Amino acid sequence: MTTAPHTRVGGGSARVVGATALALAASLIVQNVVVGAGGAPDYGDPIADVLAFHAEHRGAVAIAVGLEALNLPLLLGFLAGLHGLVASRTTAGATWSRLALAAGATLSAIWAIYAVAWIGAVLSVGDGGEPSVAFELSWRLHAAGLGMALPALGATFLGAAMAAHAAALTPAWQRLLGVVGAVLLVAAGTASLAIADGSSMVFVGVAGLALWILWLVATGLRLVRGRSVDIDA
């Protein structure tokens, strides 16, 4: 059993990492609100309805894809910064922190494919009013990208939550968020094919994503304020 002492998380680096976590959470929230407010189609909706949405809401999709590009450096910057904080305080969370970094890099690659496929769907809408083969293929690839991103996010979430707790940066309830969120995200990811075909299993993943955003906000606020906790592990 090891005990991490109760100390304040000092220095500008912790505040930068916390601000990055808050920025990532804000970007994810805005991204989902912008698309959701436009009545985004489900993956199981008729392809004609999907086409109509993209033809009418090209601006909303452009904002969402732009935020996806912003999410990549924010995610990697946060995980790299968190790794530095954890390594400077304890060796107990080093393995978890490395897991978060590796999974986060994988997640970034999948997010890029997901966004590129979405861009392809928008650009292949055309003027004919009928969904083309290129449009449907891009949309299906976009849906599959979301499905495969879920387990990568789950591993990222678990590693970051466990590492932060081991370094006395977060309390036990935030570690619990990481475990529950990871289980939900990985479970949803095992149904990637079904999700891409319109399964309601996607909402299991959405619940995991909501816990990830909550964890980012709570962790970001603690780091910005320079707060730590007593940990007995």
**pLDDT for residue 227:** 67
**pLDDT for residue 232:** 43
The amino acid that residue 181 corresponds to is G
**pLDDT for residue 24:** 97
Q: Taking the model in full, what pTM does it have?
A: 0.88
**pLDDT for residue 4:** 44
**pLDDT for residue 44:** 86
**pLDDT for residue 88:** 85
Query: What are the backbone angles phi and psi of residue 132, rounded to the nearest 5°?
Result: -85, 170
Q: Which residues of the chain have pLDDT under 70?
A: 1-11, 126-129, 227-233
CB 226 within 8 A of CB 10: yes
Length of the chain: 233
Query: What are the backbone angles phi and psi of residue 171, rounded to the nearest 5°?
Result: -80, 175
